[in-house]
Amino acid sequence: MSLERPTDRSDAVGVTEEGLDYDALADLLGDSVVSREQHRHTEAFTIRPDEVQDVLFALRDQAGFDHCSNVTAQEYEDRFETVYNLKKYVDPTQELSVVVPTSKDNPVSQSAEPVYRTADWHEREAYDLVGIQYEDHPDMRRILLPETWKGHPMGLDYNQEKPQIVTLEAHANPLEDDEHDAGADTMYLNIGPHHPATHGVLHIETVLDGEQVAHVEPDIGYLHRCEEQMAQQGTYRHEIMPYPDRWDYVSAGILNEWAYARTAEELTDLDVPDYAQVIRTMSAELCRIAAHMLAVGTFALDVYGEFTATFMYAFRDREVVENILEDLTGQRLMFNYLRLGGVAWDLPEPREDFFEKVRDFLDGLPHKLDEYHDLLTSNEIFQLRCANTGVLDAETAKQYGATGPVARASGVDYDIRRDDPYGYYPELDWDVVTAEEGDNYARVLCRLQEVEESARIIDQCVDLLEDWPEDDREIQSNVPRTLRPDDDAEIYRAVEGAKGELGIYIRSDGTDKPARFKIRSPAFSNLQTLPEIAVGEYVPDLIASLASLDIVLGEVDR
Amino acid sequence: MSVSEIVFQAGNATNGSGAANATNASAAGGGQTFPEILSGLLGLGPNPDPGLQFLFAIVGATLIAVLFLTIAAVGGIWGKRKITAAFTDRIAVNRVGPFGLLIIVADAVRLLSKEVIIPDAVDRPAFDIAPMVLPFSALLGFAVIPLGSGLQLADPETGFVFVFAASSLASLGLLMSGYSSNNKYSFLGGLRALAQNLAYEIPLVVTGASVVLFTGTLKLSEVVAVQSQPLLTIGGLTIPSWFAFVNPFAFVLFLIANLAEVGRNPFDTPEAPGELVAGYMTEYSGAYFVLLYLGEFLHIFLGGAIVATLFLGGPAGPVLPGLVWMVIKILAVYLFTQWMRSAMPRVRIDQMIEIGWKGLLVMSFANLVLTAILVGVIA
């Protein structure tokens, strides 16, 4: 619970005082490494498609890369490629990319799923959108698109004009084959895609044994809007920035924008003035408060019922944040406020009024949080419902690539703001909130405490902005009219979004548009843990667990 | 007709034998039932021809039904929104008519003009009967409740048993609607409703029985009459011996069990919006939905009426007429359920059954035994 980073595992291969020793890592892998190249953020090892598991096992168990942050698939003129962006939970600045090329005529490579559970969904998405097959994968199906879809939309030879017929295969019981006893009392239940508790359009295929959950499978993709493809059609400078607002669309907009800003700025070597960084930090934390309020409010909705006061309280308080953000950005949800190299405009005039508004909100916040604690965390029925339900232990969380409050509530002390610093966070005084229990209760508690920490950050930002000399208020650095990163530069950068690690992988091809734009969505990975935490629980706890994961389908499906 | 005859005879029999209670009973709003009063006013004597008795009973029943349907309309459509809004820091309806009151008309028209959609493969006629059973059972219960100002349809010796029997008919309606809807959410909701009503019916009745130990009668008008006696006097203010004051423990138990009985937070598991969409109501629409919805509110009001009759002195109260006091007490209990709804989380179905069977049942029996001992010692 501090700004100090947890101590690193020094016995892991390749860890030195100066950072990662990639030669030692290459030695560890020996002949498996076909070639090495330099990505913008780290070094990349190219390996053979039939040695993926060996390499990743070695990297995980001996070199300590326990976090498979992102899996990107892409098609080149001459080959397919899967890029695994590996990190460490203890120190996400220790990174490594593992590149697995496969041939055009036989795009098959070994699955990473046995090493990292999270690769399950990531590889399904890669198969779905790009068309790479993964050997040894437990469930090689489409994930975002319907089962009946023809072709792989992000492949180079995909025909966008071709009409597609989409059907829903409903009422398929995944446990049917297991039921040798004809009298087995299980019931298949479709929760969603239209259900009050799915927080959007999520379909959960559930098998119930009485009231207990015997099997859960989230079926996603109902809100897939080709965000990656759209980003690939936009120019770096202005045309991509509006899209991130639409990922985690419930008020986490600026946090999302920052993910793109950070990645693109590092790709194109842009500086951001300190003043803009402070504004970014402040507005991003305001977004985090708004997002966490919504998370807590909707969680209450699922545990209490539709007439709960907590939900309206959360919305009332979120409204204040929205008003502040509206003053700042001119928008309430789709902010489009960050620019590469800074922010769109300075604080609204008169500045004093704006500061007063923010301060009023911050001053009132402790009292409001007390109310939430009265209504939620100190309520005995609430504790009865939430403590020890939906338990996610730390190891499972890491296996699934869980991040954000979900991981932190399970005792994984991982926060990109502190561990891989960006913006103005390193200069400020705040704590990373963690809990050990990993249950629904801990996740809610974590979010409520993170609101407090965000408020601390905002408070310090306002102090800084108030005293900032008037002639030094530079909101944007000098950015070229057209941004053309180097040909074939690759980068993966992440920020701490409202739901966790929001990362973006970009490969440039020398033009002013990205050749590949991949979004690593935290909710996508977090949602993957649902079967782990919900199977064996009762239906109400399944709903509560889902709510405690705080997914936004716009971000899951992208 | 024969029922009402029996009721009248029973009523006459008690009036004849229970002379000691007669004064109290009249103080509490009359020992006569509404049809008797009506026939008395028309100068037909206490026991006119059965056809007329039937007619008077129908008039009384219509009056009571209209009264409570009106309260359900005001409380269910307008009041619920206003109350919930107050609890959740909102304003709620204020556009249609003064204080938004005309929303009742708008909503009634809206709800009734909606199409009744009957899904394929529902189990008729159970699907059609269920929406009638629910409000019917609640209204049936009101027949024996002494509503004050002489408004009591019948006053049988077994009023206490009758009112619980009538209100638990609702379980049948819930099960029918859940089972016949051909929807898994409805099915789960129906089963939950039944499990819940079974678990909480017993503590409810047993706790109610502790009141009967005090009164020594199942006749509701006498239960009310007994409560009008003074309990103690503090500074010139006489506190009546309402059983909520005499036995607060039983009162709290009864309120909790009643919450479960009407399916409100923290025990709203049968509907559980968010889990079961709308539980047993999921497949209902149009007028059928209105009936179920209405039935639910009538049940809350019946629950409130029972609480008022058994624990809050029935229609007794100063200055205002008995009926007004009764309605105030019923609405107070309704307010309580809405308050719980706004502030309380819903318990899980297994926890809820556990609380019912392991907690409330034990406590209600303990209460019964203690009360029996107490009453035995005093007597």
> Which residue among B273, B274, B351 places its CB closest to the CB of A384?
B351
**Residue A262, helix vs strand vs coil:** helix
What's the gap in Å between the CA of A195 and the closest CA on chain B?
7
Residues facing residue A213 across a β-bridge: A208
Q: Would you say residue A418 has pLDDT above 50?
A: yes
Contact at 8 Å (CB) between B288 and B129? no
Q: How confident is the model at residue A386 (pLDDT cuts 50, 70, 90)?
A: confident
- Between CA A531 and CA A390 the distance in angstroms is 10
pLDDT, tens digit, 9 for 90 and up, residues A264-287: 998 888 889 989 999 999 999 999
Across the interface, do A308 and B184 touch by the CB < 8 Å criterion? Answer: no
- Between CA A205 and CA A428 the distance in angstroms is 45
Residues A302 and A442 in one domain: yes
B347 close contact with A: CB closer than 8 A? yes
pLDDT, tens digit, 9 for 90 and up, residues A539-554: 888 888 988 888 888 8
Mean pLDDT to the nearest integer, A215-233: 88
Contact at 8 Å (CB) between A526 and A500? yes
pLDDT, tens digit, 9 for 90 and up, residues A32-85: 888 888 888 888 888 888 888 888 888 888 888 888 899 999 888 888 999 999
Q: Is residue A356 part of a domain?
A: yes
A375 close contact with B: CB closer than 8 A? yes
Across the interface, do A538 and B268 touch by the CB < 8 Å criterion? Answer: no
A184 close contact with B: CB closer than 8 A? no
pLDDT of residue B25: 38
Other CB atoms within 10 A of residue A17 CB: 6
pLDDT of residue A506: 92
Mean pLDDT to the nearest integer, A188-194: 81
> ∠ at Cα A412 (A410, A414), nearest 5°?
135
| CA-based nearest residue to B167, from B4, B304, B336, B268 | B304
What's the gap in Å between the CA of B225 and the closest CA on chain A?
38
pLDDT of residue A4: 52
Which CATH number do you get for residue A310?
A: 1.10.645.10
pLDDT of residue B9: 40
A20 close contact with B: CB closer than 8 A? no
The two tokens of residue B196 are 């819940």
Q: Where a domain ends, among A135, A151, A182?
A: A135
Q: Is residue A170 part of a domain?
A: no
pLDDT of residue A9: 52
Query: Which contacts of A52-57 are long-range, i.e. CB under 8 A and separated by 24 or more positions?
Result: A52/A98, A52/A100, A52/A109, A52/A110, A52/A111, A52/A112, A53/A110, A53/A111, A53/A112, A53/A114, A53/A115, A53/A136, A55/A29, A55/A98, A56/A84, A56/A86, A56/A98, A56/A112, A56/A115, A56/A116, A57/A115
B348 close contact with A: CB closer than 8 A? yes
What's the gap in Å between the CA of A185 and the closest CA on chain B?
13
Mean pLDDT to the nearest integer, A372-385: 86
Mean pLDDT to the nearest integer, A465-486: 86
Q: Where a domain ends, among A135, A159, A186?
A: A135
Across the interface, do B188 and A539 touch by the CB < 8 Å criterion? Answer: yes
DSSP per residue, A415-464: -HHHHS--TTGGGS-------SS-SHHHHHHHHHHHHHHHHHHHHHHHHH
Across the interface, do A307 and B184 touch by the CB < 8 Å criterion? Answer: no
Question: What residue of B is the nearest CA neighbor of A189?
Answer: B184
pLDDT of residue A169: 60
Q: How confident is the model at residue A15 (pLDDT cuts 50, 70, 90)?
A: confident
Residues facing residue A188 across a β-bridge: A207
What's the gap in Å between the CA of A537 and the closest CA on chain B?
11
pLDDT of residue A504: 92
Domain count, chain A: 2
Q: Is residue A203 part of a domain?
A: no
Across the interface, do B275 and A540 touch by the CB < 8 Å criterion? Answer: yes
From the CA atom positions of chain B, what is the Rg in Å?
21
Output the CA torsion sign for A421, A422, A427, A432.
negative
Q: Is residue A172 part of a domain?
A: no
pLDDT of residue A178: 53
Across the interface, do B184 and A211 touch by the CB < 8 Å criterion? Answer: no
Predicted confidence pLDDT, tens digits, chain B (379 residues): 343 433 334 344 344 333 333 333 334 444 677 777 777 777 777 677 778 778 888 888 888 888 888 888 888 888 888 888 888 888 888 888 888 888 888 888 888 888 888 888 888 888 989 898 988 888 888 888 888 777 787 888 888 889 888 888 888 888 888 889 888 888 888 888 888 888 888 888 898 888 888 888 888 888 888 888 777 777 777 778 788 887 888 889 888 888 888 877 778 877 777 778 888 888 888 888 888 888 888 888 998 999 998 888 888 778 888 888 888 888 999 989 888 888 888 888 888 888 888 888 999 999 889 888 888 887 6
Across the interface, do A211 and B87 touch by the CB < 8 Å criterion? Answer: no
Q: Where a domain ends, among A90, A117, A135?
A: A135
First to last CA, chain B: 39
Contact at 8 Å (CB) between A301 and A294? no
> Which residue among A187, A305, A309 places its CB closest to the CB of B346?
A305
Residues facing residue A33 across a β-bridge: A47
Compute CA distances A350 → A322, A466, A533, B272, whole Å.
19, 12, 50, 49
Q: Classify the phi-psi angles of A42: left when phi > 0, otherwise alpha if psi is within -120 to 50, otherwise beta.
A: beta
Mean pLDDT to the nearest integer, A361-383: 88
Whether the bond into B146 is cis, omega within 30 of 0? no
| CA-based nearest residue to B177, from B258, B293, B261 | B293
- Between CA B226 and CA B374 the distance in angstroms is 17
pLDDT of residue A205: 85
Chain centroid, CA A261 distance in Å: 15
Other CB atoms within 10 A of residue A56 CB: 26
Across the interface, do B345 and A189 touch by the CB < 8 Å criterion? Answer: no
| CA-based nearest residue to B356, from B278, B244, B261 | B261
Q: Would you say residue A182 has pLDDT above 70?
A: no
Whether the bond into B125 is cis, omega within 30 of 0? yes
Question: What residue of A is the nearest CA neighbor of B189?
Answer: A211
Query: Number of residue pairs across A and B with CB atoms under 8 Å?
Result: 87
Q: Would you say residue A462 has pLDDT above 60?
A: yes
Q: B185: which chain A residues are within 8 Å (Cβ-Cβ)? A: 189
Residues A101 and A239 in one domain: no
Q: A384: which chain B residues are within 8 Å (Cβ-Cβ)? A: 347, 351
Q: Is residue A173 part of a domain?
A: no
Across the interface, do A197 and B275 touch by the CB < 8 Å criterion? Answer: yes
Judged by average pLDDT, the poorest of A4-18, A271-285, A395-409, B293-307 is A4-18
B350 close contact with A: CB closer than 8 A? yes
Q: How confident is the model at residue A455 (pLDDT cuts 50, 70, 90)?
A: very high
| Secondary structure letter of residue A471 according to DSSP | G
Q: Would you say residue A419 has pLDDT above 80?
A: yes
Instruction: Classify strands A501-509 and A487-496 as parallel, antiparallel or unpaired.
Output: antiparallel
Q: B88: which chain A residues are within 8 Å (Cβ-Cβ)? A: 307-309, 311-313
pLDDT of residue A438: 87
**Domain limits for position A105:** 15-135
Q: Would you say residue A244 has pLDDT above 60?
A: yes
- Between CA B127 and CA B338 the distance in angstroms is 29
B358 close contact with A: CB closer than 8 A? no
Compute CA distances A550 → A304, A529, A533, B332, B348, whole Å.
16, 12, 14, 37, 21
- Between CA B70 and CA B294 the distance in angstroms is 11
What's the gap in Å between the CA of A324 and the closest CA on chain B?
21
Q: A309: which chain B residues are within 8 Å (Cβ-Cβ)? A: 87-89, 342-343
Q: Which of A307, A312, A381 to mutate to test the interface with B (most CBs of B within 10 A)?
A: A307
pLDDT of residue A5: 53
> Which residue among B274, B344, B349 places its CB closest to the CB of A381?
B344
pLDDT of residue A451: 92
| CA-based nearest residue to A286, from A250, A258, A322, A239 | A322
Q: Would you say residue A143 has pLDDT above 70?
A: yes
A197 close contact with B: CB closer than 8 A? yes
Domain boundaries, chain B: 2-378
- Please tell me whether the interface predicted TM-score (ipTM) of this complex is above 0.85: no
Which CATH number do you get for residue A94?
A: 3.30.460.80
Whether the bond into B266 is cis, omega within 30 of 0? yes
Burial classification of residue A160, based on how many CB atoms lie within 10 Å of its CB (0-12 exposed, 13-18 middle, 19 or more buried): exposed
Q: A189: which chain B residues are within 8 Å (Cβ-Cβ)? A: 184-185
B183 close contact with A: CB closer than 8 A? no
Write down the residue that tokens 């007390």 correspond to: A370
| CA-based nearest residue to B306, from B328, B333, B268, B325 | B333
Across the interface, do A540 and B272 touch by the CB < 8 Å criterion? Answer: yes
Q: How confident is the model at residue A2 (pLDDT cuts 50, 70, 90)?
A: very low
Q: How confident is the model at residue A173 (pLDDT cuts 50, 70, 90)?
A: low
pLDDT of residue A458: 92
The two tokens of residue A132 are 């790479």
Mean pLDDT to the nearest integer, A18-23: 78
Question: What residue of A is the nearest CA neighbor of B183?
Answer: A189
Q: Where are the beta strands (DSSP E) in A123-272?
A: 133-135, 186-191, 203-209, 212-219
Cα torsion through B7, B8, B14, B19, rounded to 10: 150
- Between CA B89 and CA B83 the distance in angstroms is 10
Mean pLDDT to the nearest integer, A417-434: 88
